[in-house]
Structure 1
Amino acid sequence: ELYGKCIAPFHLPMRENGKFTGYVNVLQQRAKKWKDDGTVEKCDVPDYSNEYLEKYRELLIEAVAETSEEYMERYFDGDDFSDDEIRQALRVNVSECSIVPVLMGANTEAKGMYTLMVDIIKYLPSPDKKECSGINAKTNEVYPANYDFSKPKSAYVFKTMVDPFVGKYSFIKVNSGVIKTDDTLFNHHKDVEEKAGKLYVLRGSKAEEVPELHAGDIGALSKLNKVSTTDSLSTKANPIVYIRTAISTPYTYMRYKVMKKGEEDKAAQALSKIMQEDLTIKTENDPANHQTLIYGISEQQLELVVERLKENYKVEIELKKPRIAYKETILGNSDVEYKHKKQSGGHGQYGHVKMRFEPLGDTNKDFEFEQVVVGGSVPKNYFPAVEKGLAEGVLSGPLAAYPVVGVKVTLYDGSFHPVDSSENAFKIASKGAFKKGVMEARPVLLEPIASMKVVVDNDYTGDVMGDLNKRRGRVMGMNALDNEKTEVEAEIPYAELYGYGTTLRSMTAGSGEYSYEFLRYEQTPHDVQEKEVEARANQLEGEEE
């Protein structure tokens, strides 16, 4: 009902006592059962399969009839098609992607592999009919590689495997020419040449060394340090570039911490190897919030990375909810005075400033400093020290120790001591005045807002919009897409993005997709601000302890 004739079962399963024992060939209308030695023997079609056998065979015959007018007339006249005619028509359907064949097998029991291989030969397009083209980087002309071994060598790196014991393998598809042991290959993307070294063909988990790889072959190169997945390899005299495979952007991220002190470098090196294998994994240092982030497609993927680090690299990390990059600003004005005075034998410290604080109107700037001092109450040579104190003050605001933005500060008066005043004294005074001035100017938290797009089947649109509303999201629009899908555009706080991927997959049976990008900062609601200020105070107190 959902896919129609597009999804076409070529086999139906046979079970005995709850076990998978064989299959019914829909095309041949014959049943086959596996024997203990892995071969098959013919048997009668089970009664419970007859109803589905007739139904699915009829769908296959209809698909065959639609391949030509001659077949359609024969179908309506009630003529039967031979097995060869059916196979040829199905081959056309499969090549055009109008039919997706579904076969039966059990890889854990090594059953159905031979049938799969035979049907691949019968129905899938032959590789020698496949066109493959790149771009000659020197001439910018199309290079028709077409798996021709007589042309200059070129290959595409489609996968990377890094083994803690064996090392790095770069899996390649040779698109033209012949690659031999110790050939020098040119990587146009990195603008480097590297020696290929040994060539391998992987059979299961075993790497078998081979002297050469021909056009159309899939093989592996070892220890090419600068080559990465989606790179193209060729020769410097004939540099060929192939279109890179599109890699999904990872949007799920978590904070991670290495469990044992002193293993930070070990964890970083292990993660670097994992990221070479999986381009959807990336790490990012966030110094503003004192955290290191790891990105992936889903939370499950990140949990698998943790397991791999533990099992393969013997290093443990802990995943935690990421800290949000809040900022602080002011909504009102204030006029403050701050005096730093200290006497401790010899020269003392004295700095005295009077400042006005007001919103700058631009939260993209930290602060703007202006001085209107008259009469030399604060000497000009101390102005840079005052500004330096402000620059240090905006790094950690007085409300919740987040960076401060969008503040205009005006120094209009103060005083100095001819002996005890110094640049350091005025810097300290300025920093103290900043904290006092911000707290008296109605400070608020700003939270980052993301512009989000969610693509879901029409049936799930209501559930998705309801969930976005619960997350303080604002739906900005909806766009109808092909295939009965809807794109929901919304604005949502970063604080509410945590766990969204898992929730979306649960709501949409795994069919929903989402993406987002930073949009702007805006004022945090009062109740959210109170909770965050309290949580931040407890966090800072715990770090001090």
Structure 2
Amino acid sequence: MSGSQARRAASRLYAAGSRASSSVIARALGLDTARSVLTRGSFASTWSHRAAPFSASAHASAAADDRALARNIGISAHIDSGKTTLTERILFYTGRINEIHEVRGKDGVGAKMDSMELEREKGITIQSAATFCKWKDSDINIIDTPGHVDFTIEVERALRVLDGAILVLCSVGGVQSQSITVDRQMRRYNVPRLCFVNKCDRTGADPWRVLRQVQDKLKLNAAAVHIPIGLEENHAGVVDLVRMEAVTFHGPNGNDIKIEPIPNDLKALASEKRKLLVEAVAEVDEELGEIFLMGEDPSVDQLKAAIRRATIAREFAPLFMGSAFKNKGVQLLLDGVVDYLPAPHEVENKALDLNKEEEEVQLVSDPKAPLVGLAFKLEEGRFGQLTYLRIYQGKIAKGNTLMNTSTGKKLKVPRLVRMHSEEMEEVTEASAGEIVALFGVECKSGDTFTDGTVNLAMTSMKVPEPVMSLAVAPKSRAESANFSKALSRFQREDPTFKVRLDEESGQTIISGMGELHLDIYIERMKREYKVEVDVGEPRVNYRECVTQKATFDYLHKKQSGGSGQYGRVVGYVEPLEEGNQGVEFENGIIGNAIAPGYILACDKGFKEAAQTGGLIGHPVEGVKIVLTDGASHAVDSSEMAFKLAALAAFRQVYEKAKPRILEPVMSVEITVPNEFQGTVIGNINRRKGTVKDSTSEGDDVIITCDVPLKNMFGYSTELRSMTQGKGEFTMEYNNHQPVTQDVQAELCQEYGKRQKN
């Protein structure tokens, strides 16, 4: 049987759903099953954290081009999985910092990447932070991202510009809600990833359960490249399944690394897991598949090269293990970043040619090509706006002239820096594949910069719609200027933070991704701008309507010396057909009981009166006003007299027309795992919602319902708690519907109290 026939036969076995062992495939293909399919190969190379990351041939080609050694990676995970702790260890082992500090900053210092005071207080990452370091011969740009779902835009824009990522998973928590969201974002931007099972020292640690969840929940073709040497308090290190050797970490900072033969009690497990590793990679890599099906044992270099090819192709995810907090496994993970994640030139990046009707153009990671860079993140720095720029091709230098293809404006680069958390390091130039920051450049997040020789635009990132709003106002007028400055800055920095002025209520409404998101910005106003803020729910935009026909006959007469005021209007009001929300005026007078010049004044008067209903002061809609008769005076009648007559007539007839209050009702679509369907629907019923549809989609159920807006406040937080953070929802305005009688009475009572006050 030829190699290609063997591969096709193996593919058929896998397509049939069989996780067949190598010996099963060998028998199926008629190979010599007496031969050991995956025996332990003999190799003399010894692991060292300074060992060459590539095979000799790969290293030789890399030496010819320094770009092959660069890495741009992000560290993403569910909240409290240990991302920032892991980044702190990476910076220590690569020599970027001299001391390790912990996340919550109990020692008064805090983790390097959590530079904001709020981050150190709360022990969470709020803003993504960039840094760079060197491991072996490779330059690594790192972005540490938040784990909380409220700050998902920080993960979104980081993954948009990165070439690879580390997905950190807790060995106890496993694949959690934000792990699924982050994985979805990695797929959206075609980012290859390594998985790191962190916290193997914690009570209840089970990395094999986490691996199963990665395979089942994330649907990744993943396999372990490590097995732990001890778990919980006995965790000492890992067995490297690629090199088949035990690596343990000693000393206060895990710097003392010992490489020894695999302990006897782990040899059988290591052999079994290595077979599974080779099998998983051979399933998606043609070269290793050839070796595997011929019953040969791949060498270290062959296996590493195959894992690299499969990882870059996003067909395999190697799973590393360790404990960042206890300083175990981080150096091996850094080796994995260099060995398995792509260099900038190995990633396909496309732009749109604005001169050719947005035709797609393939970018090349070459410093000699025309410059193309993407501004992916903005910050307000001490010296003005700080713009983070990912350079996709070409070169940028201090003093260069750039063109913003979004605005067509040209500008000079006044200052170029590389970021190390909040610290800046001046650089004179930067090339394709690097991440730098510019000062004094006015632009928006997502703008593309070129050198002017090409007119290209990078594709935009996905910006989720805000799901929660609050009404805010400064406590004193003296703080209004700083209040406006803060809102303006936050909007520029964060595309998910929106500000609008409600025309009806006059309130300033801020919208964001959740309660924590908005709370952080309110706290930042207080700390950074010295603005104390009053916070409340935004006023619900109620409406009023009439429910039956009623007649009016009103005479406006005023005499106080000189010319007086006189105007009489007669007619009726009635509700419009369902679905018609306007205010209609009809002149039904036959003859000239009212001079034609005053009819327009009547129209204005009635419509002005409809702007303020008599129940709770909200606009009246869905009403038709018909003028049937009236009277005017030759001397005392005027436009003002008839406008005032119309205003008073509408208020007189309004109560007789049995008015009702209408509330805004939202169309809500909720996506939750099947097991939470009953709980979520019960909660919708308690919020006086109406479930319209419920459909299954894989392991999830999509519930469509209509819910009054006032009952949706706080729903995002409650949905997360009901569904262990796995539920998502979107909502949009549907229509206004009548409130119940008890709610109407309550609203009228509240309005009456406000009027008295």
- TM-score normalised by the chain length of structure 2: 0.65
Note if 1:465 corresponds to 2:681: yes
Correspondence for 2:653: 437
Give unpaired runs (5+ residues) of structure 1.
Answer: none
Note if 1:153 corresponds to 2:371: yes
Query: How far, CA to CA, are the matches of 1:382 and 1:404 in structure 2?
Result: 23
Correspondence for 2:5: none
Correspondence for 1:142: 360
Cα 1:144–1:464 change in 2 (3 A) is same
Query: How far, CA to CA, are the matches of 2:692 and 2:560 in structure 1?
Result: 62
Correspondence for 2:569: 353
Query: How far, CA to CA, are the matches of 2:230 and 2:559 in structure 1?
Result: 92
Note if 1:2 corresponds to 2:220: no
Report deviation, 1:450. 2.0
- What is the correspondence of 1:497-516 to structure 2 with a 5 Å cutoff? 497-516=712-731
Instruction: Work out whether residues 471 and 509 of structure 2, in 8 Å CA contact, stay in contact via their aligned partners in 1.
Output: yes
Query: How far, CA to CA, are the matches of 2:669 and 2:753 in structure 1?
Result: 35
Correspondence for 2:739: 524
Query: How far, CA to CA, are the matches of 2:235 and 2:536 in structure 1?
Result: 46
Instruction: Work out whether residues 162 and 276 of structure 1, in 8 Å CA contact, stay in contact via their aligned partners in 2.
Output: no
The structure 2 residue matched to 1:117, chosen from 334, 347, 353, is 334
Correspondence for 1:186: 403
Report deviation, 1:217. 1.1
The structure 2 residue matched to 1:495, chosen from 710, 722, 725, is 710
Correspondence for 1:333: 549
Deviation by residue 1:244-300 (Cα, 9 ceiling, x = unmatched) = 111111121121122222322321221111121111111111111222211111111
Question: Which range moved further: 31-40 or 519-528?
Answer: 31-40
Query: How far, CA to CA, are the matches of 2:263 and 2:644 in structure 1?
Result: 89
Q: Give the residue type in structure 1 aligned to 2:701.
A: T
Report deviation, 1:334. 0.3
Report deviation, 1:500. 1.5
Query: How far, CA to CA, are the matches of 1:260 and 1:166 in structure 2?
Result: 28
Deviation by residue 1:357-376 (Cα, 9 ceiling, x = unmatched) = 01122655531112233454
Question: Which range moved further: 129-138 or 258-267?
Answer: 258-267
The structure 1 residue matched to 2:604, chosen from 380, 388, 392, is 388
Q: Give the residue type in structure 1 aligned to 2:548.
A: G
Q: Give the residue type in structure 2 aligned to 1:242.
A: M
Query: How far, CA to CA, are the matches of 2:422 and 2:270 in structure 1?
Result: 38
Deviation by residue 1:480-509 (Cα, 9 ceiling, x = unmatched) = 33x422222222222222111112211222
Q: Give the residue type in structure 2 aligned to 1:182.
A: G
Query: How far, CA to CA, are the matches of 2:360 and 2:301 in structure 1?
Result: 39
Deviation by residue 1:302-360 (Cα, 9 ceiling, x = unmatched) = 11111121222222323322211111111100001223333444444333222200112
Question: Which range moved further: 30-39 or 248-257?
Answer: 30-39
Instruction: Work out whether residues 458 and 485 of structure 1, in 8 Å CA contact, stay in contact via their aligned partners in 2.
Output: yes
Give unpaired runs (5+ residues) of structure 2.
Answer: 1-211
Determine helix, strand or coil for the equivalent of 1:263. helix
Q: Give the residue type in structure 2 aligned to 1:131.
A: E
Instruction: Work out whether residues 11 and 23 of structure 1, in 8 Å CA contact, stay in contact via their aligned partners in 2.
Output: no
Query: How far, CA to CA, are the matches of 1:536 and 1:191 in structure 2?
Result: 52
Instruction: Work out whether residues 21 and 33 of structure 1, in 8 Å CA contact, stay in contact via their aligned partners in 2.
Output: no
Query: How far, CA to CA, are the matches of 2:490 and 2:268 in structure 1?
Result: 49
Cα 1:507–1:101 change in 2 (3 A) is farther
Q: Give the residue type in structure 1 aligned to 2:535.
A: L
Determine helix, strand or coil for the equivalent of 2:460. coil
Query: How far, CA to CA, are the matches of 1:69 and 1:198 in structure 2?
Result: 48
Cα 1:397–1:462 change in 2 (3 A) is same
Query: How far, CA to CA, are the matches of 1:474 and 1:393 in structure 2?
Result: 34
Cα 1:262–1:366 change in 2 (3 A) is farther
Query: How far, CA to CA, are the matches of 1:463 and 1:48 in structure 2?
Result: 47
- TM-score normalised by the chain length of structure 1: 0.88
- What is the correspondence of 1:15-414 to structure 2 with a 5 Å cutoff? 23-27=237-241, 28=244, 30-36=246-252, 39-42=255-258, 59-67=276-284, 82-103=299-320, 114-140=331-357, 141-163=359-381, 165-225=382-442, 227-361=443-577, 364-374=580-590, 376-414=592-630
Cα 1:111–1:361 change in 2 (3 A) is same
Correspondence for 1:455: 671
Determine helix, strand or coil for the equivalent of 1:216. coil
Instruction: Work out whether residues 351 and 429 of structure 1, in 8 Å CA contact, stay in contact via their aligned partners in 2.
Output: yes
Instruction: Work out whether residues 416 and 436 of structure 2, in 8 Å CA contact, stay in contact via their aligned partners in 1.
Output: yes
Instruction: Work out whether residues 390 and 433 of structure 2, in 8 Å CA contact, stay in contact via their aligned partners in 1.
Output: yes
Report deviation, 1:120. 0.4
Instruction: Work out whether residues 229 and 239 of structure 2, in 8 Å CA contact, stay in contact via their aligned partners in 1.
Output: no
Instruction: Work out whether residues 355 and 433 of structure 1, in 8 Å CA contact, stay in contact via their aligned partners in 2.
Output: no
Determine helix, strand or coil for the equivalent of 1:354. strand
Instruction: Work out whether residues 613 and 620 of structure 2, in 8 Å CA contact, stay in contact via their aligned partners in 1.
Output: yes
Cα 1:430–1:22 change in 2 (3 A) is farther
Q: Give the residue type in structure 2 aligned to 1:155.
A: G
Report deviation, 1:396. 1.0
Query: How far, CA to CA, are the matches of 1:456 and 1:17 in structure 2?
Result: 33
Deviation by residue 1:36-92 (Cα, 9 ceiling, x = unmatched) = 355133389999999997886665354245346896798799976554444334334
Report deviation, 1:440. 1.1
For the aligned residues, what is the CA RMSD?
A: 3.2
Query: How far, CA to CA, are the matches of 2:510 and 2:280 in structure 1?
Result: 48
Q: Give the residue type in structure 2 aligned to 1:156.
A: L
Instruction: Work out whether residues 147 and 175 of structure 1, in 8 Å CA contact, stay in contact via their aligned partners in 2.
Output: yes
Instruction: Work out whether residues 199 and 220 of structure 1, in 8 Å CA contact, stay in contact via their aligned partners in 2.
Output: yes
Number of equivalences: 538
Cα 1:426–1:176 change in 2 (3 A) is same
Cα 1:112–1:289 change in 2 (3 A) is farther
Query: How far, CA to CA, are the matches of 2:264 and 2:503 in structure 1?
Result: 67
Instruction: Work out whether residues 328 and 405 of structure 1, in 8 Å CA contact, stay in contact via their aligned partners in 2.
Output: yes
Question: Which range moved further: 266-275 or 78-87?
Answer: 78-87
Instruction: Work out whether residues 403 and 451 of structure 2, in 8 Å CA contact, stay in contact via their aligned partners in 1.
Output: yes
Instruction: Work out whether residues 21 and 34 of structure 1, in 8 Å CA contact, stay in contact via their aligned partners in 2.
Output: no
Query: How far, CA to CA, are the matches of 1:10 and 1:79 in structure 2?
Result: 19
Report deviation, 1:397. 0.7
Query: How far, CA to CA, are the matches of 1:271 and 1:469 in structure 2?
Result: 36
Cα 1:353–1:109 change in 2 (3 A) is farther
Query: How far, CA to CA, are the matches of 1:280 and 1:9 in structure 2?
Result: 37
Cα 1:284–1:463 change in 2 (3 A) is same
Question: Which range moved further: 255-264 or 150-159?
Answer: 255-264
Cα 1:207–1:364 change in 2 (3 A) is farther
Cα 1:453–1:54 change in 2 (3 A) is farther
Report deviation, 1:94. 2.7
Query: How far, CA to CA, are the matches of 1:77 and 1:22 in structure 2?
Result: 37
Note if 1:535 corresponds to 2:750: yes
Instruction: Work out whether residues 185 and 195 of structure 1, in 8 Å CA contact, stay in contact via their aligned partners in 2.
Output: yes
Query: How far, CA to CA, are the matches of 1:68 and 1:236 in structure 2?
Result: 42
Q: Give the residue type in structure 1 aligned to 2:748.
A: V
Cα 1:464–1:262 change in 2 (3 A) is same
Question: Which range moved further: 24-33 or 46-55?
Answer: 46-55
Cα 1:262–1:392 change in 2 (3 A) is farther
Query: How far, CA to CA, are the matches of 1:54 and 1:446 in structure 2?
Result: 70
Report deviation, 1:448. 1.8
Determine helix, strand or coil for the equivalent of 1:506. helix
